[in-house]
Structures are given as structure tokens and as C-alpha cells.
Structure 1
Amino acid sequence: MATHNPPPGVVLPRLAFTEGYLGPQAKFEEYGLSLVSHSDPMIYLDEDQPEVEIIFGVPAGTRITIKMASLDHQKECNEYCLIRALGPNYLFLLRPPMPGFYKFQIHALPADEAGPQFLGVYNYMIYQPTGKHGDRPFPKQYPPWKDGCYLYEPISLPKGVCAHNVPFKLLIPRARDVQVKVGEDWNPLQQTSEPGEFEGFVNFSRGYPAGTKVKVNVKFVGNNYNTLLEYTI
């Protein structure tokens, strides 16, 4: 369980003491954003906690993007962040892959403001004490995904997956057709009784080579598909 106090012997990075860096930024209230979880911008995970989910209230039409970077290793780790939207809330699921401190930055742009410049609205700092949970990235998320979509499963696909029936379930507003493309094989998902909700099973037992891309392709209008998510197996 995440705590508010640093573990014994852990030294905070210099960035934690930079005035105004942590917490809400200038446009946070003006953009109508709200904290649903984690009002403390410092988050300390324990050794048995591989991930944390931060929830924001976001006005309709506001676009969101996020960045996570390891301070100890000086590298971006955006593949370990998953954006999901459910109703008025955006849920950010984070899996810091290595021990140490991470900065997690949330950027926003209201619907009535011209882009493409997103502004920083909130900064967190996360401490992961261990790397024992392994390298488990989330799928790559393309811009259309960040417009109100939610991934139920699979959150991740392991390297070399060869299961016969892997369940997929997603909520994609306004989608007309959803297909999971594994290599060159297309697998249609079926729409449920809930608007925008699609589910089905995908067969991974066909001996796909390492590095095969698994793409969630969506048709909104016309005959063209947009890729919203991309896994690598």
C-alpha cells in the first residue's frame, strides 16, 4: 500500500524541493480538473506494490497526456503508464519498472483551446523501492485512445504469449468495428449490449515470432481503421 512518508534512509531528490514543482500547476483549477485520489503529490510504494492508479476528474472534451521518467536512470518510461477514461474520470495506471524515484507529469488542453500545446497541470513524484516485479510494459496508446477509452483486459501481454484464448475487452465510444490484428491475422471483437463496449477472444497459439505487433484497430467512420493500442509480444 502506498504511504505518505519516505522509508528510512531514503533521500529525496533535489527536484522534490524545487518550489512549485510538485502538486497543482497554474492551470489546474482554471481547466476544471480535480483530484479523485492521491492528494499528496509524493507517493511511496511498498515492496509488494508493483503499480499505483491515480484518478483525476476531467471536464468533458479536455485532452490529456502524461509523461513518466526515472530520475535515477535519466530516462523516460512512458511505456509503463496506461491512460484509461471512465465517465468523468481519467485513471492513470503506473508501473515503475526499476527502483528509485520517478517524476510523473500530467498535461491537459481544454476543448475550447487551440492546440497542440498541452500545459502541465499536475506533477507527482513516485518512489519504487524494488525492481522485483519485472519488466511489464503496457500497450502503446495512440492519440485517439486518450479520448475517453477504457481497457479492461489484457492490461499487458507477456513476451512469447502462446495461449489459445486470450480475452480482450475494451470500451471505445463511437466505435463501429473493433479488430485485434496479430501480425497479419485479423480477429474481430463483438459489441456487447453496452454502447461502445467490445469483447472477444484472440488465439496466440499459432507460433508468432518474437517482436510481433498486436494492434487494436478501430473503425469510427468510413472504411478506414485507426490503431488505438499496440502491444509487442
Structure 2
Amino acid sequence: MAARPDLQKGYLGPQSKFEEFGLSTVTHQDPEINIDSNQVEVQIRVSKPTKVTANLTSCAKNEELPQHVFTQTKDGVVSVKVSLPEVGYYKLQIFALLLPDDSKTLPGVYNYLINCSRIASAVATYPKQFAQWKEGCYIVSPSNLDPNVSLAETKFEVFIPKVKSAAVVADGSWTHLNQNTAGLWEGTVNLDPYRFKDAKVTLNANYGDDNKFSTLLEYKV
């Protein structure tokens, strides 16, 4: 069993901007999380429009693992999904910035230490999240793409605020999504031809600037 890493005093828990930004914990009040699984979801409530992102770092390897952490916001709650690839200790750092501040640097607002004692389920590889994704978007499906299963009818269902249109682009092939009565952009895409080819699949949104689409998420299959 890996030894608990030494952390500087004051590292764990809320940082100076946490309360100032109007943030509060929903799920994990204790910054030390011990789990006998490799999946955990941390939720933070925001009281104002806030951009939030998270970093996951393996303590044993001192390696950042952006592909194993996924952040999204729904109804004023930020969800941080974590899928750990190995047993051991991990640092989960949450960063935030009040909108409309467009500063490139987000201050750290809360730090967790996760101790994973067992790999109980398949390890998820999450898509890369771009800047505009962090401004109130959330996805119903898919939060990750597993090339080991059929992707012939991959259902995309996603909420993107203030957007004019949305599309999925798979290795250059476009599929435009339709907005349903619930305000979600949805559509079914055949991604089977791209499995195990290291193909890039992106979720893109148009905010009304001619035909310009911004990339929100980038998957690899």
C-alpha cells in the first residue's frame, strides 16, 4: 500500500477564493477521500456564473492525468468526474474564476487528496475540454467513448448555453445536432468506422459568428 504523501500545511480543503467566489461543497466536505473503487464524483455549488476546471495528478508518478478527469456544470452545480487508472494517492485540484472575467489564469479554490484502494470498474478516458466548455455546459451522453464496444449509434445529447447551432465532427465528417424541446442539442452519429484508428471526434458550437465553430470537447477513438 502506498504511503500517504506529505502535503504542506493548508494545502487540503478550501483555499482563499473559495468563500469569496460564493462556492460550497455539495458531496465531499472532507478533503481526504478514501474509496474502494476507482470512480468518484465531486460536486461543488456555485452561486454566481463561474468558470471551473480541475487537475488530477498521480502522487506516485507526479504525473498530470487530464484524460481521467471531466468537469461540467448543471443547475448551479459543478460536477467533477474522476476515473483513476491505478490504486494509490491522487491530488484533485479545483480552479475557478467568476464570469465574465476572461483571465487566462484560474486561482486554485479547493484541493482534495484521493486514496484509491481498488480498481473496481473500467477506466474511463474523458474528452479534452476547451475553454468555452467550462462556461456552463454539460453532457448527458457520451461522457467518454470506448472503442471496445460498438459506436454505430452513438447518441449525443448536450446542453450548451447561448449557442446558435452545434455539430459533431468525426475525422472531418460533420453531423449537425438538433435542439430538442428541453433545450438540449442531440443527434446520433455512426462512429464505428473510426474505432482503433486514433481518430479525432469533436463537439463544436456556433455562437452566431458566421460559420465559425468553436471546439468544446475532443475525443479520441
The answer to whether TM tops 0.5 is yes
Aligned match of 1:4? none
- Of 154, 159, 172 in structure 2, the residue corresponding to residue 184 of structure 1 is 172
Question: 1:27-42 counterparts in 2 under 5 A?
Answer: 27-42=17-32
| TM-aligned CA deviation for residue 11 of structure 1 | 3.4
Q: Would you say 1:12 and 2:36 are equivalent positions?
A: no
Whole-angstrom CA distance in 2 between matches of 1:132 and 1:61: 35
TM-score (ref. length: structure 1): 0.88
Listed one character per residue, the Cα deviations across residues 88-120 of structure 1 (whole Å, up to 9, x for unaligned) are 111111111111100011111223656233211
Distance, in Å, in 2 between the alignment partners of 1:174 and 1:199 is 16
Distance 1:162 1:10, change over 3 A: closer
Q: Which structure 2 residues correspond to residues 134-173 of structure 1 after superposition, within 5 A?
A: 134-159=122-147, 162-173=150-161
**Matching of residue 221 in structure 1 with residue 203 in structure 2:** no
What is the distance in 2 between the residues matched to 1:224 and 1:84? 23
Q: Distance in 2 between matches of 1:153 and 1:205?
A: 16
Of 100, 111, 124, which residue of structure 1 is paired with 2:88? 100
Counterpart for residue 189 of structure 2:
202
Ranges in structure 1 where 5+ consecutive residues have no aligned partner: 1-8
In 1: Cα distance, 2:85 partner to 2:115 partner: 11
Identity, in percent, stands at: 33
- Residue by residue, what CA displacement relative to the aligned partner does 1:199-220 show, whole Å, maximum 9, x if unpaired? 1111123355610000001111
**What is the SS of the residue equivalent to 1:144?**
helix
Mapped to 2, the partners of 1:11 and 1:177 lie a distance apart of: 49
RMSD over aligned CA atoms reads 1.8
Q: State the Cα deviation string for residues 41-96 of structure 1 (Å, max 9, x = none).
A: 011111xx331111111132222121110001110011111111001111111111
Contact 2:166 2:185 in 1 (8 A): yes
Aligned match of 1:110? 98
Shift of 1:185: 1.1
Cα 1:207–1:140 shift into 2, 3 Å: closer
Partners of 1:187 and 1:114 in 2: CA distance: 30
- AA aligned to 1:30 is E
TM normalised by structure 2 equals 0.92
1:133, distance to aligned residue in structure 2 (A): 3.6
CA deviation vs aligned residue, 1:156-181 (integer Å, no higher than 9, x gap): 11136543211111011112111111
Q: Which has the higher strand share?
A: 2
Matched with 1:60 is 48
Are the aligned partners of 2:38 and 2:87 in contact in 1 as well (CA < 8 Å)? no
Task: Tell me if the contact between 1:167 and 1:202 (Cα under 8 Å) persists in the aligned partners.
Answer: yes
Equivalenced residues, count? 220
